[in-house]
Amino acid sequence: MKLLFAPIWMLLLAGAAAPEPRVAVTGGHVAGRRGEDAALVFRGIPYAAPPLAGNRWKPPQPVRPWRGTRPAAAPAPACLQPDQGWNKADAANASEDCLTLDIRTPGVQGRRPVMVWIHGGSNRAGSARGTVESRLAANGVVLVAIQYRLGIFGFLAHRGAAAEARGHAGNYGLMDQLAALRWVRANIARFGGDPANVTIFGESAGAQDVSLLLAAPASRGLFARAILQSGTPGFGMPPRTRAEGFALGDQAARLVGAKGIAGLRRAPAAALLAADRKLHDPVIARPNAVWNDDMVWLRPQIDGRVLPRSPRALLLLAPPRPVILGTSVAEFGPPEGSIALADALRAAFGMQGEKLARRYRAPDARRGGPLLALSTDLIFGCPTDRLAHLLADRGWPVWRYRFDLARDGGRSSHGSELPYVFDGLPIAGRPALLQRLWVRFAHTGNPDPVAWPRYDGKIPRIAQFDAGGLRTVDVETPAACALHDTL
């Protein structure tokens, strides 16, 4: 009898442990893990082939099928990037084989709204990291975080690559994002998500990329709505023409000593990363200007494929979709005293800029010193103001916000809202206020029909998040915007 019952007891014990979640996706099967809250977590699922060797500076290629079940429980490498300090962990664990995405879902049954996160980092750094480990997915949504080629690997436009592609070159990182969204459309129902109810959202460069996807004709039908946190097309910089892009590509080839696109494809990754940090764009890196070569990959490239025209021209033709967009009150800028204020304004606007100097001379407790206030307006405030007007005037449902809250009680800066979105930090005693608004927007297309009115350019009321909670305030157009009309 003991010999008979022992195997049965062992089978019952084994059955008590929940099996690892397995899902069939494009390319094969993946096995994830169960999170602490019983959610299902999948990390490092490939949505395209590795962009290596001959696939450098080419559109993402289809996923290569694999045999058996692919483990998808551990983080995948980030895309190649230079170590800038804040991204040390990503730079240390990076690879060109990085076109993967992460998913967290409450379960594989049902049809839940999908939120796709596009990370920031100047289009030069960052990764999906621990995004899907956050509390956001506990609110009845499927959370996806994608990775895309960065910097010189993701955005360089070389004339040799254009010769292979009917004149189109650059924006491979945006092509990766489009490929990831197509993967989501094809596969997310197997993770309990609704492919017809996808919200894309991002911060900084991720928000800029969201805005470019709103403009890109190839994105039609891939998502329903968008959230832009401190980012717009180009951050106030004019789009880069194909000729200017090719000049940057020539410069990169000279820096690594490569002949043509074939030579660049043979170049060591380390040499390309080193060249990336030396690239110079004379249009944006004028002496004493607030824009500089650190933002070289934030200047949109008109590539003839993803962006066949300027982002503004494309947005005028794009179908209306619900959008949330906003900024923090003191984003970032050069250290005070590093640039003479009058010189910075003259560099940005010529002699007319000197007239603005007196508007930015006095420090502001909320907005910081003159250079911080000026940079926040020129890089974030003015482009956001113009984008909100452009969309609202054409009937897009737009909700605009200003974030004026910091965890340590200090000044709200670039990215200050992130822990309130992902970790659900309370605002004025209201648990997970910002997170719940973002999730409600993903569910319904309206963050709060009572407390947060839709933005109207004629009566510009916006939501402000501060120590008092959520309140509606009138928005003032920053002074610098009178002389600055670039989105």
122, 127, 204, 230: the active-site residue: 204
Strand ranges across the sheet with 22-25: 22-25, 28-31, 69-71
Give the integer Cα–Cα distance in Å for 299 and 208: 10
Burial degree of 440 (CB within 10 A; 0-12, 13-18, 19+): middle
From CA 432, how far away is CA 430, in angstroms rounded? Answer: 6
> Which tokens belong to 417?
């809202």
H or E element in which residue 250 lies: helix 242-256
Active-site residue, from 331, 412, 413, 417: 331
DSSP 160: H
* Catalytic site includes residue 168: no
Annotation says 219 is catalytic: no
Residues 101 and 146: beta-carbon distance below 8 Å: yes
Cα–Cα distance between 469 and 208 in angstroms, integer? 27
Beta strand 40-46 with 100-105: parallel, antiparallel or unpaired? antiparallel
Check if 280 is active-site.
no
* Catalytic one of 119, 389, 414, 484: 414
Q: Cα dihedral angle (249, 253, 256, 259), rounded to 10 degrees?
A: 160
| DSSP letter string, 119-138 | --STTTS---TTGGGSSGGG
What are 30's strand-pairing partners?
Answer: 23, 70
Largest CA-CA distance found in the chain, in angstroms, rounded: 98
Three-state DSSP state, 11: helix
Residues 6+ apart with CB under 8 A from 186: 26, 195
Instruction: Report which of 324, 354, 325, 332 is spatially closest to residue 341, judged by C-alpha positions.
Output: 354
Decide if 23 contacts 30 (C-beta within 8 A). yes
For residue 274, the tally of other CB atoms under 10 A from its CB is 14
- Say if residues 227 and 201 touch (Cβ distance below 8 Å): yes
Half-sphere exposure of 118 (CA within 13 A, CB side): 35
Show which residues are catalytic.
Answer: 204, 331, 414
